[in-house]
A and B are shown apart, each in its own frame.
Chain A
Amino acid sequence: MVVILAFALFALIGILASQAFRSTGTYRAAVPAGYQLVSMDLGHEARMGARGPVLLRDDEWGIVGKVDLLLRGPQGEVIPVEYKSAWKGYEAGTARRSHMVQLATAFLLCQGDPRINRAPVEGWIRYVDDQGKVVPGGEVKVQNTPEARAQVIEIVQRMRQAKRTKAEVHRTLNTGYNCRHCLNHGTCGEAKVA
């Protein structure tokens, strides 16, 4: 009798938890059906266990980084996902260049790290609000292209040169709009704020 009751209790909790899991639409939005979560670097390490953050390394270029979310797609493909704060007046489907470069760096890391050793076909940038929810039209899918890889490598080479020569680096933004929103415009000395 006790065993039957315990079985019923387990089954009941299991069914309720299963329904609660299915109703967590926000979770399914983060990890779509058919995709598997490989690692996450969005805090909560204690709850994530083996699916916690992974430091990826590309030895060829000396680049390291943790991808916010690493997913395994239905065909076994690797999909890096980066989470970014949506700015005021965010336009659906748009992504900042610097965020796309960071995702391109994740592509390079996936390809260069011997544990993955494969180039993603695409990656996703998710723009989230204060509650951590993706804003409408805030999931942007970015294709992995040779141009994106070349852009990352060019930046890395410039950074290494700047570190090596200890030379002062000058402003590369071309519009006052971006300078106004840059958090360093107060100390920059070159910022163009209209």
Chain B
Amino acid sequence: MANILERGATAPDFKLPVTPDQKLSLGELKGQPVILAFYPADWSPVCGDQMALYNEILPEFHKHGARLLGISVDGVWCHAAFAKDRHLGFPLLADFQPKGAVARSYGAYREDEGICERALFVIDGKGTISWSYCSPIAVNPGADGILEALEALAPQAETSHR
């Protein structure tokens, strides 16, 4: 498994397409916690799907003032179709060109297969990684770790946001 960036590291900034004509950068989200969920590919089987699960938990993430971003190497049109099909209420970023560059900067790229790891990062409002976790590629890591990490950030989130 890859050596992903760990707690205490500065989260590498990035600017990635979020729709065919819009880009989103990490820097724009300063001041609020950000959850980065790298995942291997759109269109994995429905019921065990990690993004579908996070979509369901979105209100809990929002209670912490946190923004969730999904990232894979799929292109924007693929993401758009996937998000529409699954009614996803959060952005999917396309780490498509140069392929996997952002995943690589977080240590979350699988060179052999050319896909992202199933890796999670919780980044605090100042841009520091406060928690990270890399799951075995076939195992949906769930959301318990994310929620615990957000709770650990809570006092800061309350003063800097909401």
Judge: A and B partners, yes or no. no
Listed in ascending order, the chain B residues whose CB lies under 8 Å from chain A are none
Listed in ascending order, the chain A residues whose CB lies under 8 Å from chain B are none
